[in-house]
Each structure stands twice: as C-alpha cells, then as structure tokens.
Chains A and B, each alone.
Chain A
Amino acid sequence: MASYNTSEFKSGLKFMMDGDPYNIIENEFVKPGKGQAFSRVKIRNLKTGRVVDKTFKSGEKVEAADVMEITCEYLYTDGEYWHFMEPVSFEQFQASETAIADVKNWLKDQESYIVTLWDNEPLTFTPPNFIELQITECDPGVQGNTAQGATKPAIVQTGASIKVPLFVENGEWVKIDTRTGDYISRAKES
C-alpha cells in the first residue's frame, strides 16, 4: 500500500485515517528551536464532510487513500439517488444525497462535474467554477436601473437562492460563480 511521509503533506493530498479517507485542506509545519518538529493539518473526512485538526510528528507515515478523480455528466435524479455518466465509457453510477449535498444547488443536466471516487464510490462532487442557470422566480425587472450594488432575491432552476441586479427578469439565464454563489452576468439561453 502506498504511503506518504508528513514531509509530502500539502493541500489536496488524500490519505486514510481510522478507515476513512481524508483530504488535506491546510498543512503547517511547526518546530521548536531544538527538538521534535510537527505537521499540523486541517483535514476533511471525505465520507462525512467533517473538518478536523490533527497533529503528526514529522517523519510519520500515513496510508495513501485510493482516491481518484474523474469528470462526469449529471443525468437526472429519481428522488433517492442522483445519476451521473462518465462520458467516455458511458458508464453510469448513482450518488446518495450526502455525496451531492455540497453540489446540489448547482446540478444541471448534461453539465460536467469532477467526482472524487473512493473504492469506486462517489464521495464528493465539484461543480465547474461558473455555471449558467435560468431564473424561475423573481420580482419583475426594473428597467433602466443599473445602480451599482442594488440587488433583489431570485431563485434559479436548481432551487438555489441567489441575488441578482434589479434589471434581471424572470425566465432569463444568468451566469453564477459556484464558489461564492454570486451573480456574474446575464447569459444567453443555453
């Protein structure tokens, strides 16, 4: 089994601890003037999503997690599972509500997502940084009002609530930054 030494720790590295896969979010090396050095890490449990702090002695080894990332397209949900397809092999797989919780607001048919698989089970989904979605609910647009910063609430086709400028109309398509949930611009119907 492959392993990592603490000196290889960096954000994004995935390893096993107590039978669960973890992803390193932050890594800090601390050392007293003389003596034992330590690696302090902030890590996310890829199964539960929980973030915990851990400290290891420098030089300790951890077991690498057999995790891989693939790109796949979202197909549909049957209410219980969410179905995806790997576009090269056409292989389909399903994900539970826990696995898609973080990406649920940004799930759109035929859009591509990065999926982290562990033992061939999907653990996490990462949406594209920008996504175009249709507004399904918002107050009528106020024409001519392009004042900077003035916004109103809107709901998009996935059910996510966002803030849009006053001039945006119901039924329009908008471009959204999925990392922040911020409106970026109007978009053409896609």
Chain B
Amino acid sequence: MQWQPDGDQQSRLARAEMLRDIREFFYQRQVLEVETPALSQAANTDPYIDSFALVTNQTRYLHTSPEYAMKRLLASGSGDIYQICKVWRAEPSAKHHNAEFTMLEFYRLDYNMQTLMTEVDELLSQLLPSLKKHSNFHTYASLFLDKLGFNPHTIAEDTLKACVDKYVPEFRGELDHQGCLDLLLTHCIEPKLPNDRISFIYDYPATQSALAKTEQVADYNVAKRFEVYVGNLELGNGYQELTSYEDNAAVLENESSVRQQMNHEAVPIDQRFLSAIQAGLPECAGIAIGLDRLLMLKTDADTIKKVLNFSWENA
C-alpha cells in the first residue's frame, strides 16, 4: 500500500516559497486576503464544469472556484481582494489535472481586461523568473488567422467543419460551432504556444463570455476575457466582470438550460450571488489561477502529480 507522498521535499519548499511570494505581492499592493466557504448550497452552473455534491440531510456543493462568494464580498464593499484556496472539479486525473487543486483568485476594482493582464504578467514574471521577458499578447481571432487561416468569429459552419476534418482528422464524433473551435484551439493552437514565455489570449467569442463583459469589435462581439498560458499549460482565466444584474442572471439561466439539454445534472443557481449583483457589483476585473500548474513550471515538473503531496489516486 502506497503511503508516501507523490511530491518531493523540493516541491514542498517551492510551494511554500510561492505562497509567501504571492502574499507579499498582494500585501505590497494593499489587496486584502479573504476566505469564503468551500461548501455552498448553490453550485457552478457552467455546463462544462461539474461540482462534487455532498449529500447529508441537505445537499451542499464543493466550490469549483470562489467566484460567487468573492463577488458577494465585492458588492458589500470589501475593496480589492484575493483568496488562495482548494477547489474541486469532477474531472478525470491527467497530466495537468487533479480533481482537487489550489486556486489563487483575485479581484481588482476599476481594472479592465488590459490592466488586469498587465498585473497578471507582473505577478507571473515575479513567480517564474526563469521565463523570458516580453510576454506574448494575442487576440483569439489573430491566433486562428495565423495558425489556421480563418476568423473564428465569422467563419461559416460548413467551412469550420471542413477545417476540423483537415486539421484534426483523428477526431470522432459531432461538435457544435464552439466545440469545433475548442477542438482546434486545444489540438492545433495551444501546442504551438512557446514554452519559454507567458502567452495571453484575449477577446474570446461572445458565446464563451461566461461572466465577462462583451464588446463589439468590427461586426461581431467579443468577450473581455483572457486566458494565460506558458506553453500549452493553461494557468488562468481572467475577466473584465459583467456587472449588470440582468446579464448575470441571464448567463446563469442560460447555462442551466444548456446543462439540461446536455443531460447534465441540474444544480441550484446561486441566488445569494444574484442578489449581491442586484445590490451592485463595482466595476472590476478578476482572475483565477491554478497554483499547482504554476508550481509545475517553477519546479520543472512534467506532471501535476509531482507537485502534489498526495494526488487524487493517493489521497
């Protein structure tokens, strides 16, 4: 029976140093560290993220990110806040995935997508000093145009399907429009991102906005949302936050109905979160960063298991 940890002492030292550096970074910038509950009465409605449910006399859900609760704090006047916490997502274990992982989530008042990307770039450059300076910033559209020769916001359905057949012939099954873009992004674009520096991808399709603001660019809408990578390792997902109550409620209801169409388990919408937004969420931008993956880069580990004391199978 294995009882020994997966990660070595080196990874434990590196984790402790990383946590200290993050806390110092936010202390310097007067961002307040907060805690919110891990077990909530409501769950994430995102159809592609599954929560663990804990059934006792009343069902509770392990949070998949502290987003809803932190936004309740923002609405109550907390000012700039950050949190380092464990989160859980019902996903298979893989090289870059462990169902329980550590997240850094932070929100900055009056920041927009651009200023948040700049701050994330500063934070990651400090935490990963061996990376080359001058990070890459690409729009979602420019990457598809450069690598695959089409604009993902305007491409016709049949042309997109033909691209999937051409570039990912090993795919089997049926995909909707966004599914095709996700396939091409993960199979043809992410693997080509450089390993020695940070890459930002921003201005996602509006259908991928989640709780980010959208904006019209040329003749289509984009989400003011970005992802940050080193190589093909996705580290974080940032938003210029959607503040209108109607829009937030519409997103959660739409996600719930997509869950239903996909035959995924129905989960309760976070009404306390929506009440907070109705009371008024200040203009802000926020991001969630996977700290175990960051640690993989810091310690040059090729699997997430190597930076965890006890990975999912060994927990």
How many Å from the CB of B230 to the closest CB on chain A?
14
Q: How far is the CA of A36 from the CA of B181 in the complex (A)?
A: 9
Chain A residues lying within 8 Å of B190, measured Cβ to Cβ, are: 32
- Is B97 a contact partner of A31 (Cβ separation < 8 A)? yes
Within 8 A of B (CB), among A4-44: 6-7, 9, 17, 27-40
Count A-B pairs with CB separation below 8 Å.
77
Please pick, from A7, A28, A34, A60, the residue contacting B173 in the complex, using a CB distance under 8 A: A60
Q: How far is the CA of A9 from the CA of B91 in the complex (A)?
A: 12
Chain B residues lying within 8 Å of A185, measured Cβ to Cβ, are: none
Contact flag A32-B175 (CB < 8 Å), given A7-B92, A37-B91, A52-B170: no
Q: Does residue A158 face the partner (Cβ distance < 8 Å to B)?
A: no
- Is A30 a contact partner of B186 (Cβ separation < 8 A)? yes
How big is chain A's contact interface, by range?
20 to 34
- Is A31 a contact partner of B91 (Cβ separation < 8 A)? yes
Q: Does residue B102 face the partner (Cβ distance < 8 Å to A)?
A: no
Please pick, from A32, A52, A57, the residue contacting B234 in the complex, using a CB distance under 8 A: A32
- Is A54 a contact partner of B237 (Cβ separation < 8 A)? no
Q: How far is the CA of A130 from the CA of B210 in the complex (A)?
A: 56
Contact flag A34-B185 (CB < 8 Å), given A52-B170, A56-B172: no
- Is A35 a contact partner of B179 (Cβ separation < 8 A)? yes
Please pick, from B173, B182, B186, B187, the residue contacting A56 in the complex, using a CB distance under 8 A: B173
- Is A55 a contact partner of B183 (Cβ separation < 8 A)? yes
Best-buried of B91, B174, B186, B225 by chain A (most CB within 10 Å): B186
Residues of chain B at interface, number, CB under 8 A: 31
Question: Across the two chains, which residue of chain B brings its CB closest to A55?
Answer: B171
Chain B residues lying within 8 Å of A139, measured Cβ to Cβ, are: none
Q: How far is the CA of A36 from the CA of B174 in the complex (A)?
A: 12
- Is B183 a contact partner of A34 (Cβ separation < 8 A)? no
How many Å from the CB of B305 to the closest CB on chain A?
13
- Is A34 a contact partner of B92 (Cβ separation < 8 A)? no
Q: How far is the CA of A50 from the CA of B306 in the complex (A)?
A: 32
How many Å from the CB of B62 to the closest CB on chain A?
18
Q: Does residue A182 face the partner (Cβ distance < 8 Å to B)?
A: no
Q: How far is the CA of A47 from the CA of B186 in the complex (A)?
A: 31
Q: Does residue B95 face the partner (Cβ distance < 8 Å to A)?
A: yes
Q: Mark B8-19, 1 if CB is under 8 A from A, else 0.
A: 000000000000
Q: How far is the CA of A124 from the CA of B236 in the complex (A)?
A: 45
- Is B186 a contact partner of A34 (Cβ separation < 8 A)? no
Q: Mark B62-102, 1 if CB is under 8 A from A, else 0.
A: 00000000000000000000000000000111110100000
- Is B95 a contact partner of A36 (Cβ separation < 8 A)? no
Please pick, from B46, B171, B175, the residue contacting A34 in the complex, using a CB distance under 8 A: B46
Q: Does residue B137 face the partner (Cβ distance < 8 Å to A)?
A: no
Chain A residues lying within 8 Å of B173, measured Cβ to Cβ, are: 56-57, 60
Q: How far is the CA of A187 from the CA of B263 in the complex (A)?
A: 61
Please pick, from A7, A28, A55, the residue contacting B170 in the complex, using a CB distance under 8 A: A55
B interface majority secondary structure: mixed
- Is A36 a contact partner of B237 (Cβ separation < 8 A)? no
Contact flag A57-B168 (CB < 8 Å), given A28-B95, A33-B234: no
Chain B residues lying within 8 Å of A97, measured Cβ to Cβ, are: none
- Is A36 a contact partner of B48 (Cβ separation < 8 A)? yes
Contact flag A29-B227 (CB < 8 Å), given A9-B92, A36-B183, A38-B183: no
Question: Across the two chains, which residue of chain A brings its CB closest to B201?
Answer: A33
Chain B residues lying within 8 Å of A32, measured Cβ to Cβ, are: 182, 185-186, 190, 227, 234
- Is B97 a contact partner of A54 (Cβ separation < 8 A)? no
Chain B residues lying within 8 Å of A57, measured Cβ to Cβ, are: 173-175, 179
How many Å from the CB of A168 to the closest CB on chain B?
39
Please pick, from A33, A40, A56, the residue contacting B237 in the complex, using a CB distance under 8 A: A33
Question: Across the two chains, which residue of chain A brings its CB closest to B173?
Answer: A57
Q: How far is the CA of A27 from the CA of B92 in the complex (A)?
A: 11
- Is B183 a contact partner of A29 (Cβ separation < 8 A)? no
Chain A residues lying within 8 Å of B126, measured Cβ to Cβ, are: none
Contact flag A28-B187 (CB < 8 Å), given A35-B182, A55-B170: no
Please pick, from A27, A36, A54, the residue contacting B178 in the complex, using a CB distance under 8 A: A36
Q: How far is the CA of A118 from the CA of B91 in the complex (A)?
A: 31
> Closest 6 CB pairs between A and B?
A29-B94, A33-B237, A36-B182, A35-B182, A36-B179, A55-B171
Known: A36-B175, A55-B171, A57-B173. 15 other contacts (CB 8 A): A9-B92, A29-B92, A29-B93, A30-B94, A30-B187, A31-B91, A33-B237, A34-B204, A34-B237, A35-B208, A36-B182, A38-B182, A38-B187, A54-B172, A57-B175
- Which residues of A pack against B, CB within 8 Å? 6-7, 9, 17, 27-40, 52-57, 60
A-B contacts, 15 listed (Cβ < 8 Å): A28-B94, A30-B94, A31-B91, A31-B186, A33-B227, A33-B236, A34-B225, A36-B175, A36-B182, A39-B92, A40-B187, A55-B187, A56-B172, A57-B174, A60-B172
